[in-house]
Amino acid sequence: GTRTVYVITATYPRPEQEADLVRLSQTLMHAAPFLFWVVVEDAPQRTPVVTELLERSGLRYVHLVAEVPELALPRPRFWGRVPRGVASRNTGLSWVRSHATAGVVYFADDDNSYDIRIFTEVAPSPQSSLSIPWCSPQIQKTRGVSVFPVGLVTELGVSSPVVVGGQVTDFYDGWHGGRRFPIDMAGFAVSVTLLKQRPNATMPYRAGYEEDGFLKELGVTREDLQPLADECSQILVWHTRTEKVAPIRSADLNKFQGSNIV
């Protein structure tokens, strides 16, 4: 298939943002013909370095800022845990609902690691199909909601649906928390058609329950979930995290050059 995958990325200004987004953009560039990147910054305005790398990428994209509703502001009922990226994802969802007619939506956080085979079954270049077989259909094949494993989640090391005879029968996850769908943000995709059939489905501002709440609002059952990645036997995405260290942007480096500060 060659359906468009709308990749919704929640991001926010911080020293690691440029590094994370360069890596992600250059991953997405390998599947460019099949992708539309919806980048939504959790910030009052667009960060120039992000605008520039989006322009350089050659990808089809839209660069938005999150509309943060009053209810999303931190308050005691979050028990100290603030949901991250929710306003961005909801803003991205509304954009897709009003601009896309077909395709698939996938939430790709800026710091995760993605095998490009997750986005498409079509090899981006002819060489790719020489020795290693291009893998079976992935996100492009999503009918309603598709699911697949995510590596490096919790101390168990993976979060994955359990698949028996092509059906999801259970979930392997380090934290169930009473969720109907113990699935990581990076472990599912939704068709644009289903998204439009459920125009009010949004992601809740509830840390740990964002995926579960959204999937419940989409009105799907466990039986509806479509396992991808060879019946969930392959890991094609990892919940990596970028360590927060050097607070220096490449633009600031110029200030040191020619001086003896460093």
Reference 11, options 105, 62, 84; nearest CA is 84
With binding defined as CB under 6 A, does residue 210 bind ligand UDP? no
Q: Sketch the per residue contact string, 64 through 103, with Mn ion: x for CB under 5 A, - otherwise.
A: ----------------------------------------
Q: Which is the catalytic residue, given 211, 217, 231, 243?
A: 211
Helical residues (DSSP H) of the chain, grouped into ranges = 17-28, 48-57, 86-99, 192-197, 210-217, 229-232, 250-256
Q: Is 110 annotated as a binding residue?
A: no
> Is 211 assigned a catalytic role?
yes
Q: Can you tell me which of 42, 111, 211, 212 binds Mn ion, judged by CB under 5 A?
A: 111
d(C-alpha 152, C-alpha 219), whole Å: 28
CB of 214 to ligand UDP, least distance (A): 14
- Residue 172 Cα distances to 113, 240, 241, angstroms: 20, 18, 21
Partner touching 10 among Mn ion, ligand UDP, none, CB below 5 to 8 Å by kind:
ligand UDP
Q: Can you tell me which of 3, 12, 78, 141 binds ligand UDP, judged by CB under 6 A?
A: 12
Q: Are 149 and 158 in contact (CB under 8 A)?
A: yes
Part of the chain binding ligand UDP (CB under 6 A), chosen from 10-18, 49-57, 151-159, 195-203: 10-18
In the chain, the amino acid numbered 190 is: V
**Which residues have a catalytic role annotated?**
211
